[in-house]
Amino acid sequence: MSDPIIQMQGIKKHFGNVIALNGVTFDVRPGECHCLLGDNGAGKSTFIKTMSGVHKPTEGTITFEGRPMEFSSPRDAMEAGIATVFQDLAMIPLMSVTRNFFMGREPTVGRFIKRFDIETANRITMEKMRQMGINLRAPDQAVGTLSGGERQTVAIARAVHFGAKVLILDEPTSALGVRQTSNVLATIARVRSQGVGMVFISHNVRHALAVGDRFTVLNRGQTLGTANRGEIDAAELQDLMAGGQELATLEGSLGGTI
């Protein structure tokens, strides 16, 4: 089994009196999809912000490609190869797919006066999107005309094109219908097969089980460890998300309807 790209050990994060993370251990290997599951408020977003250089951990260590690492900014983490697709996607709906794809990283032509190389950018965008199973009508099609799932795919393709080794997706399927969800899950599987280490955050156990190789459940900033595919089923994951005992009690009082 290959060595992890990134290892997070004993990560704690406090915001004043709020303990958002209370000792989380998590790693990502190349070519796997490691799911991070947890209910709202469990600490998922805080954890991946710590992994991607947005937050400094209050305690704990990060090892990247075998060496201790402290990311001082999101840019720092991104240059190392840790890309994050956040829920809001950071896209401009009225701008073209190409412009969004290359935002801030435009290819240029010209020796003295540099200008945006739109032909190259268009060609790469069409090609990358086609590889992800999306046939754009034209590269100047506005991002806002794509479906939610397709926009996720643009963000994922963009991160991979710019060299992501670890790609973190924060709840990419939470606002999508069934069909678009399965498209995004197929995209995750495709990118994983290219050797990228995927972190798939979700509170939906079925979505996680559809593509996950390993599963870590966060509950109130803590985790009870990591399970491999085949070692854990939907009911067990759901139970861990709800904090085990709590769900059993609730289920009892509701007559087993959860």
The number of beta carbons lying within 10 Å of the beta carbon of residue 127 is: 12
Please name every residue paired with 167 in a beta bridge, in sequence order, or none if there are none.
83, 198
Going by C-alpha positions, the residue among 168, 161, 152, 155 that lies closest to residue 51 is 168
What is the size of the binding site for ligand ADP (CB under 6 A)? 11
Chain residues 38-77 in contact with ligand ADP, contact rule CB under 6 A: 38, 40-46
Calpha distance 26→217 (Å, rounded): 10
The number of beta carbons lying within 10 Å of the beta carbon of residue 22 is: 18
> Could you say which of 20, 77, 166, 241 contacts ligand ADP (CB under 6 A)?
20
- Check the CA dihedral 164-61-171-187 and report its sign: positive
**Residue closer to ligand ADP, measured from CB, 43 or 139:** 43
Calpha distance 99→151 (Å, rounded): 13
- By CB under 6 A, tell whether 113 contacts ligand ADP: no
> Could you say which of 24, 29, 37, 45 contacts Mg ion (CB under 5 A)?
45
| Residue 62 contacts residue 71 (beta carbons within 8 Å) | yes
Q: Which stretch binds ligand ADP (CB under 6 A): 37-45, 63-71, 84-92, 189-197?
A: 37-45
Strand pairing class (18-28; 222-228): unpaired
**Residue closer to ligand ADP, measured from CB, 44 or 207:** 44
Site string for ligand ADP, 163-202 (x = CB under 6 A): ----------------------------------------
**Residue closer to ligand ADP, measured from CB, 39 or 213:** 39
- By CB under 5 A, tell whether 173 contacts Mg ion: no
Residues near ligand ADP (CB under 6 A): 15, 18, 20, 38, 40-46
Residues near Mg ion (CB under 5 A): 44-45
